[in-house]
Amino acid sequence: MIAIADYGVGNLFSLKSSFAAIGHEVTVTADADALRAADKLILPGVGAFRDAAAKLDSSGLGAVVREEATAGKPLLGICLGMQLLFEKSYEYGEYEGLGLLPGEIRPISDVIPRDLKIPHIGWNSLSLKKDSPLFRFIRNGDHVYFVHSYYARTDERLVAATAEYGAELTAVVGLNNVYGCQFHPEKSGEVGLNILRAFCEET
Amino acid sequence: MITKRIIPCLDVKDGRVVKGINFKGLNDVASPVGLAKYYSSCGADELVFYDITASSEDRRIFTDILRETAANVFIPLTVGGGINTVEDFDRVLKCGADKVSVNSGAIRDPGVIEKAANRYGDQCVVLSVDIKRVDGVFRVFAKGGRENTGMEAVSWIKSCVDSGAGEIVVNSIDTDGVKKGFDLEMLEAVCEAVSVPVIASGGAGKTEDFLTLFKALPKVDAGLAASVFHFGEIRIEDLKREMARNGIPVRI
C-alpha cells in the first residue's frame, strides 16, 4: 500500500485518482501509523514553502516521513513536496525543510533571463541526465506539466532530469530511496502516470 | 523547451456539453467526461470547463461532473462560469480544478482576485476578459459580452495582474465567431503590457490561424477555442503536427 501524506495543504483528489487510474491502491492519510505501515510514501504539496513546512512540523508527519525515508522506505516528493525534501528554502525568508536531500530551494529568477515569465508554467520536455527507476516507462524529451517559481539547487549527482527554461532547472531528483519531481505527474497525462507507475513498481 | 498550449473549451449546461459533433470512438458527444477524455487523448494540453448553468441544482450537477472528469483526465483543468467569490474558487478547486477563471465576478468585485491569489496562489487565478473595440478603444465588456463597462481593457488587465491574476484569457468579441483568425492587434497590446501568460481566444477558424498566432506573437502562450474543435473543423493531433512542422514548440 502506498500512502499519500495529508498534512493539510492542497487538494489531493487528482493525485489519488491518478494512482487509481494505474491500478495502484493508495491511502490519503494524516495518521502517523498509517504512514509507518505503508510500503511507500508520497509527499505532495502546493502553495508556499513556509506554510507547508510549518504544517509538516505541527502535524508531526514531517518527522514520520523523515524517519521512514531514513530507514529506507521509498519516498516521492511532488512539486512543493519535492522542495520540502531539501535542507532549506529561500522563499520569502529562510525556512528549513526535511533535510533528506542536500541542497536548497532558490527563486528561478536567480538563474533565468529576465524576459522569461515567472512562474515557469506549462508543458516542458525532460532532459534525462542519469538513469532512474522513475524513468523506466518514459523517454528522454517527454513532456510534463510544471508550475513553479522556485527550483532546487543541489549536487549535480542528485539531478536525474532537468527542464530547459532559460537555464537547466532541476526536474527530477533521486538519492537512494528518496525521489522528487518538480512537476506534477498527476497532471502530466500518460507520461506522468508512467512516472507514478514506475515509482509504484520499480522502486 | 516550454511548449505552446492548445486548449479546448467545453461549455457545460445541465450536465451536458452544449455544442459538438460525433467523433470516431466517441459515442456520447455531449458527455463532458467523455469529451474531456477524448481531447486529452488527442493531445489537448489543458481543458477549460465553462459552467453556463444558473440554478444551484444545476451547479451541483456541474461540480459532480467536474469531480468525475478530474478522476479520469490527468491534464490541467480550468473552471470558469459563475465564479464571484473565494467560496466559488473553493467549491471548484475541491472538485479537482487546478485553475479558476473569473470574468464578470472580478468586474463586480475586483477584490476577489487578490483574496483568491492570497489563498491559492497567483498560478491558480485566471482572469478572463471579453474585449471589444468601441471608437477605436479596447473596452471591457461584462455579462457574456453584452454590457460595456466603459473600462479600458489593457489598464483593467494590468490592475488585475497587480492584484494577483496569474494568467489572462483575452477573448476578442470583434473576432469571436468570425473564424478569420485571432485578434493579433488586441493580443499584442495585452502581451506588451503584462508579464504573465496570455491565452488567445476568439477567431480561430482553421489550423493556419493558430500558426499565424504563434509566429506573429511569440509572447502568446496558448490558443483556446471551442466550436472548431467540437465540430471537428480542426483536429488537435493535426494542428499540433502542423505547429511542430512550422517550428513552433509543441507537445506531441
Number of domains in chain A: 1
Residue scoring higher pLDDT (B204 or A48): B204
Per-residue confidence at B237, pLDDT binned at 50, 70, 90? very high
pLDDT higher than 80, residue B203: yes
- List the one residue out of B100, B234, B181, B7 whose CA is nearest residue A123: B7
Q: What is the pLDDT of residue B24?
A: 63
B10-67 per-position pLDDT tens digit: 989 888 888 656 666 666 778 899 999 999 999 999 999 999 876 777 788 899 999 9
Q: Does A187 touch chain B (CB under 8 A)?
A: yes
- Checking phi first, is residue B170 left (phi over 0); if not, alpha (psi -120 to 50) or beta? beta
A186 among known catalytic residues: yes
Q: What is the CATH number of the domain that holds A87?
A: 3.40.50.880
> Are B2 and A47 within 8 A, CB to CB?
no
The C-alpha of B51 sits at a distance from chain A's nearest C-alpha, in angstroms, of: 20
The C-alpha of B120 sits at a distance from chain A's nearest C-alpha, in angstroms, of: 7
Q: What is the pLDDT of residue A61?
A: 97
Annotated domain spans of chain B: 5-245
> Are B196 and A117 within 8 A, CB to CB?
yes
The dihedral over CA atoms of A1, A159, A130, A69, expressed in degrees to the nearest 10, equals: -30
Residue of A46, A164, A187 lying closest to B76 (CB–CB): A187
B135-177 per-position pLDDT tens digit: 999 999 998 888 999 999 999 999 999 999 999 999 999 999 8
The C-alpha of B3 sits at a distance from chain A's nearest C-alpha, in angstroms, of: 6
Cα of B160 vs its chain's centroid, Å: 17
Residue of A120, A124, A187 lying closest to B75 (CB–CB): A187
ipTM value, please give it. 0.93
> Residue A199, CB half-sphere, CA atoms under 13 Å: how many?
36
* pTM (two decimals): 0.94
Q: What is the pLDDT of residue A162?
A: 98
The CA distances from residue A29 to A54, A61, A67, B120, B233, in Å, are: 18, 10, 17, 22, 46
- List the one residue out of B166, B55, B160, B152 whose CA is nearest residue B111: B160
Q: Cα B144–B149–B152 angle (5° rounding)?
A: 110
Class of domain B5-245: alpha beta
Residue of A68, A148, A181, A184 marked catalytic: A184
Q: What is the pLDDT of residue B14?
A: 83
Q: Could you tell me what percent of chain B has a pLDDT over 90?
A: 79
> Are A122 and B75 within 8 A, CB to CB?
no
Range of the domain at A80: 2-202
Average pLDDT on B127-140 reads 97
For residues B217 and B232, give the distance between their C-alpha atoms in angstroms, rounded to a whole number: 26
Which residues fall within 8 angstroms of residue B218, CB to CB, at 6 or more apart?
Answer: none
CB of B249 within 8 A of CB of B215?
A: no
For residues A174 and B138, give the distance between their C-alpha atoms in angstroms, rounded to a whole number: 50
Restricting to A residues 114-133, those with a Cβ less than 8 Å away from any Cβ of B are: 117-125
List the pLDDT tens digit at each of the 203 positions of chain A: 999 999 987 779 899 999 999 999 999 999 999 999 999 999 998 888 999 999 999 999 999 999 999 999 999 999 999 999 999 999 989 999 999 999 999 999 999 999 899 889 999 999 999 999 999 999 999 999 999 999 999 999 999 999 999 999 999 999 999 999 999 999 999 999 999 999 999 99
| Range with the poorest average pLDDT among A117-121, A185-189, B70-74, B245-249 | A117-121
